[in-house]
Amino acid sequence: MEDAMTAGEGRTGEVGHVVPGPKGGRPASGRGAKLAPEVKAAPDTVTSAFAEFMTAFEAFKEANDERLGEIEEKLTSDVVTRDKVERINKAIDDQSRLIDELVLKKRRPPLARAGRDETALTEHKAAFEAYVRRGDDQALRDLDQKALSAGVSGDGGYLVPPQVDEEIGRRLRVISPIRSLATVRQVSGSVLKKPFAATGFASGWVAETAARTQTGTPELSELAFPTMELYAMPAATQALLDDSAVDIEAWIAAEVDIAFAEQEGEAFVSGDGVLKPKGFLAYDQVDDGAWEWGKIGTIPTGAAGAFAASGASDVLINVVYALKAGHRQNGTFVMSRRSQGAVRKLKDADGNYLWAPPARAGDPASLMGFPVAESEDMPEIAANATAIAFGDFRAGYLVVDRVGVRVLRDPYSAKPYVLFYTTKRVGGGVQDFEAIKLVKFGV
């Protein structure tokens, strides 16, 4: 046993320096730091980061198999083995986060300008740049009078050029997990109203020459998705604005995308619908056996705050098949990184791991063949928490964007900095209550 522990610790040391720690490249684990003779520098390419991620996952499987073997043999696992599994599991999470950051950086393209009236775009770009750099809004006012919809000073600020608006939307899709999964609609008003028939339309079979009886009248209801105001306030010095080499449009897009993504990502998951979108976890929840329209069905694990002691993976199979076939084929698991770490340890009856790493960098991991989307806004595993969601979010959740992002220049409130009060109107809510199911960690 001592030899096995020594060998296991050696493997932990190798994994411990896969992901540099917060100080001086040291691994998060003190044990890994002692065993590793030298510390690798952080990988600077997606390919090398992904290779180290796969190495860490293979080490994790070895350590977890050792832990499971000890449980079978002695009905408990050695504390050293458990600690090793958790440290490697954390290393995998850290490496996955690094890959996400590198992939996101590579996916940021230059602002698109093709396919539009080049003259109008050039005029709007020049006018907007003059406003941002010097506070000169005369050109934007002139464009507003020419019906180019550039100025909305009466509502507070001016619309950014279309390229910047599109770039902000593109970056939000990459960063915000629910937005990238859901249906996104653009509206020009403040509310999107969508009729639906909860009972479906009547139909039937009939002979070619037989009389057709009148079908029943379906009950139509209406879902309303109001848009709420989301804001960010990046700041810049006047020296930065005076520097002609700085791409002001790209700077604004880069400054607001993270702020917008974090706020709306939380709202799409758990928002209460008051001054923000309504998240899918905020709707009434009911055991899936008693499901009805307007509520989200839940499937219990059978144990409070944990997977069941026996047949732990059964609940994942149950939640997959709780969806109808049409939704199931487009299903995606949504959970936090820590919940994914717990799921990563589960095996099927044949001893195969249910969680599989991505086939290549930039792709999602998979669970039982379905993609996994990480959302840190999902609750952690706890008693009666709905920490895992599975569903066809394209059909189930709707994100509503009001066209246009506004910028109001404020050089007075925080001298010597110039503030840019940037606003965007966005709403969201569940549009198909059959398409989303939740795993409830309770009885």
Domain assignment of residue 167, yes or no: yes
| Position 236 in a domain | yes
Domain check: are 433 and 339 in the same one?
A: yes
Q: How much is the pLDDT for 255?
A: 83
> What pLDDT score does 216 carry?
65
25-63: pLDDT as tens digits: 444 444 444 343 343 444 457 777 777 777 877 888 788
Q: What angle do CA 151, 153, 155 make, to 5 degrees?
A: 115
Could you report the per-residue pLDDT of 357-387, keeping only the tens digit for each? 888 877 889 999 999 999 999 999 999 999 9
pLDDT tens digit string along 379-415? Answer: 999 999 999 999 999 999 999 998 888 888 899 998 8
Q: What is the pLDDT of residue 154?
A: 47
More confident residue, 215 or 338: 338
Least confident of 241-250, 306-315, 421-430: 241-250
pLDDT band at 114 (very low <50, low <70, confident <90, very high): very low
Specify the pLDDT at position 325. Answer: 92
The domain spanning residue 330 has which CATH number? 3.30.2320.10
pLDDT, averaged across the chain: 79
| Least confident window among 46-50, 151-155, 337-341, 419-423 | 151-155
Q: What is the pLDDT of residue 28?
A: 42
pTM of the model: 0.69
**Do 267 and 371 have their domain in common?**
yes
pLDDT score at 219: 66
Q: Within this chain, do residues 297 and 431 fall inside the same structural domain, yes or no?
A: yes
The per-residue pLDDT for 404 is 83
Are residue 171 and residue 304 in the same domain, yes or no? yes
What's the average model confidence in pLDDT over 297-311? Answer: 93
The verdict on residue 214 lying in a domain is no
Tens-digit pLDDT profile for residues 13-27: 344 444 444 444 444
* Per-residue model confidence (pLDDT) at position 36: 38
**From 39-43, 173-177, 348-352, 435-439, the region with the lowest mean pLDDT:** 39-43
**Comparing 146 with 114, which gets the higher pLDDT?**
146
- If one counts the domains in the chain, the total is 3
Identify the pLDDT of residue 3: 43
Q: Are residues 348 and 381 in the same domain?
A: yes
Q: Are 223 and 99 contained in the same domain?
A: no
**Which of 8-17, 187-196, 412-421 has the weakest average pLDDT?**
8-17
Q: What does the alpha-carbon distance between residue 86 and residue 91 come to, in Å, rounded to a whole number? A: 9
- For residue 437, the enclosing domain spans 160-198+219-443
Same domain as 33, residue 181:
no
Are 34 and 16 in contact by the 8 Å Cβ rule? The answer is no
Would you say residue 207 has pLDDT above 90? no
**Is residue 336, in this structure, part of any structural domain at all?**
yes
Please state which of the ranges 199-213, 283-297, 335-349 shows the lowest mean pLDDT.
199-213
Q: Does 151 map to a domain? A: yes
Residue 50 lies in a domain: yes
CB atoms within 10 A of CB 218: 13
Same domain as 175, residue 55:
no
Q: What are phi and psi of 280, to 5 degrees?
A: -70, -20
Please write the tens of the pLDDT for every residue from 148-188: 444 554 456 777 777 777 777 777 877 888 999 999 998 88
Query: Where is the domain boundary, 82, 107, 132?
Result: 107
Domain finish residue from 107, 124, 144: 107
312 in the same domain as 262:
yes
Domain assignment of residue 416, yes or no: yes
Say if residue 377 is in the same domain as residue 350.
yes
Which tops the pLDDT comparison, 198 or 434? 434
Are 173 and 224 within one domain? yes
- Supply the pLDDT for residue 405: 86
Final residue before a domain boundary, out of 46, 79, 107: 107
- Give residue 35's pLDDT: 40
Q: Are residues 165 and 131 in the same domain?
A: no
Q: Is residue 64 part of a domain?
A: yes
